[in-house]
């Protein structure tokens, strides 16, 4: 993985993105819950209003219609006179209950309901003196007609506002549609937000994987990446050669010129190794300290020797530590082939390490020689 990423800025971007997206998701969830609750309340309120309207208006209608029916006979005898007085009081109490009882609050909150029934009740009260001053049949009939006029207004209002497709019903249906559309939009936004959060988490996972498999100094794959790649080839029974490289005089550079010079040396060599990857069809790793590893695909012996010569050429030029300061660098190589010299990664590393140290201590100029023997 050769992509150069600035860890600090990328991690900060991921953190801010996750925080923002999670906050948006939380807001959308809360908005969805609010819309859901409003939709439920709307449906419940309409049912409650219908039930209350049905019961209260039924009682008012019953008493009102009875009063109208017997009012023309109010002067016939004391029985009818008492019935009319009682009917008036019962109708009055039904009006009062409709306007002031707590169970009628939901019904009275409907637009125009309280105003209409308050006005109707006031006009009903204005007829009370006429009731107590009746003196002839004509006055009784006239009072009954006036009461019937109020009654017909009430029936017209109820019929108009509480039929199946009344304005109140249609208004609440529009509100329900608006809430439904709002909920669909909010749910869609929540889904999109969840997908984006998932994608950001995927990016974070990939980034963390990159950090776990990449050497922070040289930006090339590290020992863990080498272990994974080698074990995959072993599991697939794919022949390959592992080459361990140890920088011989790296400690001298580090001690004499400082750790910054050592870092420059490692970065320079890593870059040179990277530049050979496409030509050699290999993978380069820094496995710790001044040690590198290279996984070479299976090839004939002659091609392997050419590959080693190419790697040795990485040490021909001196390492530039500063504008006017350069130092030579040498290295020791140790090879091990799968499956000839080992069937597990530990066996291959042990063999390659032994070959590398045999080379390190057997030559004075190990940077120009490589141990390629196969056992």
Whether residues 166 and 246 fall in one domain: no
Does a structural domain hold residue 184? no
* Domain end among 179, 201, 234: 179
Cα of first residue to Cα of last residue in the chain, in angstroms, is 33
Read off the DSSP letter of residue 294: E
In a domain, 68, yes or no: yes
**Do residues 172 and 227 both lie within one domain?**
no
Domain shared by 347 and 247, yes or no: yes
**pLDDT score recorded for residue 112:** 83
Same domain assignment for residues 157 and 234: no
Q: Are residues 243 and 175 in the same domain?
A: no
pLDDT in tens, 186-210: 777 878 877 887 888 888 888 889 8
Instruction: Give the closest residue to 246 by CA, choosing from 317, 340, 311, 337.
Output: 311
Has residue 270 been placed in a domain? yes
pLDDT band at 220, cuts 50/70/90? very high
For 266-296, letters b (16+ CB in 10 Å) and e give: bbbbbebbeebeeebebbbbbbeebbbbbbb
Looking up tokens 């140890």 gives 246
In-domain check, residue 215: no
Residues in a beta bridge with 214: 221
Number of domains comprising the chain: 2
200 vs 136, higher pLDDT:
136
Residue 187 lies inside a defined structural domain of this protein: no
Contact 329, 318 (CB under 8 A): yes
Q: For the full predicted model, state whether its pTM sits above 0.75.
A: no
Closest CA to 290 of 218, 368, 370: 218
pLDDT of 272 above 80: yes
295 and 153 within one domain: no
Q: Are residues 130 and 37 part of one domain?
A: yes
DSSP 8-state assignment for residue 61: H
In this structure, are 233 and 289 located in the same domain? yes
**In a shared domain, residues 60 and 133:** yes
Report how far residue 29's alpha carbon sits from residue 289's, in angstroms, rounded to the nearest whole number.
51
The verdict on residue 200 lying in a domain is no
CA 343 to chain centre: 46
End position of a domain, from candidates 124, 148, 179:
179
Q: Which of 310, 242, 234, 254 is nearest to 279 (CA)?
A: 310
Query: What is the extent of the structural domain holding 119?
Result: 10-179
Domain final position from 162, 179, 196 = 179
CATH at 233 = 3.30.70.270
Distance from C-alpha of 153 to C-alpha of 39, rounded to nearest angstrom: 33
318 and 170 belong to one structural domain? no
Q: Which two tokens stand for residue 142?
A: 């006239």
Q: Flag whether 53 is in a domain.
A: yes
User: Is pLDDT of 50 > 80?
Assistant: no
- Whether the per-residue pLDDT at 375 is higher than 50: the answer is no
237 and 88 housed in the same domain: no
Among 94-103, 105-114, 292-301, 358-367, the least confident range? 358-367
CB count within 10 Å of CB 154 equals 19
Q: How confident is the model at residue 293 (pLDDT cuts 50, 70, 90)?
A: very high
Asked if residue 237 and residue 351 are part of one domain, the reply reads yes
């Amino acid at each position: 993985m050769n992509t150069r990423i600035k860890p600090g800025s990328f991690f900060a971007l991921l953190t801010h993105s996750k925080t923002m997206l999670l906050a948006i998701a939380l807001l959308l969830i809360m908005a969805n819950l609010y819309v859901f609750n409003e939709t439920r309340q709307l449906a419940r309120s309409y049912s409650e209003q219908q039930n209350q309207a049905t019961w209260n208006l039924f009682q008012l209608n019953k008493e009102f219609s009875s009063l109208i029916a017997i009012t023309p006979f109010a002067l016939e005898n004391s029985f009818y006179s008492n019935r009319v007085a009682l009917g008036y009081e019962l109708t009055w109490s039904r009006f009062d209950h409709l306007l002031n009882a707590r169970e009628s609050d939901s019904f009275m909150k409907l637009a125009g309901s309280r105003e209409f029934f308050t006005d109707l009740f006031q006009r009903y009260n204005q007829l009370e003196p006429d009731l107590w001053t009746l003196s002839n049949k004509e006055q009784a009939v006239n009072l009954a007609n006036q009461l019937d006029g109020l009654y017909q207004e009430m029936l017209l209002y109820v019929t108009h506002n509480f039929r199946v497709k009344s304005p109140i019903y249609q208004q609440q249906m529009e509100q329900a549609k608006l809430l439904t559309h709002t909920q669909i939009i909010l749910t869609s936004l929540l889904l999109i937000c969840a997908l984006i959060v998932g994608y950001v988490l995927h990016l974070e996972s990939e980034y963390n994987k990159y950090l776990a498999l990449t050497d922070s100094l040289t930006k090339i794959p590290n020992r863990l990446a080498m272990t994974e790649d080698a074990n995959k080839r072993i599991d697939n029974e794919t022949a390959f050669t592992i080459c361990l490289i140890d920088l011989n005089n790296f400690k001298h550079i580090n001690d004499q010129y400082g750790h910054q010079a050592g870092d420059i040396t490692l970065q320079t060599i890593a870059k040179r190794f990277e530049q050979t990857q496409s030509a050699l069809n290999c993978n380069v790793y820094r496995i710790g300290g001044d040690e590198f590893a290279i996984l070479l695909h299976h090839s004939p012996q002659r091609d392997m020797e050419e590959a080693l010569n190419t790697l040795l050429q990485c040490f021909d030029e001196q390492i530039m530590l500063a504008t006017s300061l350069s130092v030579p660098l040498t290295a020791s190589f140790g090879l091990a082939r799968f499956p000839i010299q080992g069937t597990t990664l530990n066996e291959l590393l042990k063999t390659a390490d032994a070959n590398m140290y045999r080379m390190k201590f057997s030559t004075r100029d190990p940077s120009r020689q490589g141990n390629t023997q196969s056992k």
